Amino acid sequence: MKRLARSESPIVFCPLPSDDPKVRRPDISLARRLLDWEPRVSREEGLALTIEYFKKEKERDQAERGARAAR
């Protein structure tokens, strides 16, 4: 994730909330069976696309804030 985001931020591990699931293993077998669905992008490509989306959203938000401040 840090590599894809080109981040130098440290990774900080914090205690989990008491109700946090300890194991996350999403199961897409139901979507495969009922919808005949298969993922079209790899996990890495999906993360890269998500990072790019949020970078653009941040830039758009900053531009809107700047425009409001200039009024």
Residue 51, C-beta contacts closer than 8 angstroms, at least 6 positions apart: 4, 5
pLDDT tens for residues 27-71? 899 999 999 999 999 999 999 999 999 999 999 999 999 888 888
Task: Give the global pTM.
Answer: 0.65
CA distance 6 to 13: 19
Do the Cβ atoms of 13 and 20 come closer than 8 Å?
no
Tell whether the model's pLDDT for residue 25 goes beyond 90. no
pLDDT band, residue 23 (cuts 50/70/90):
confident
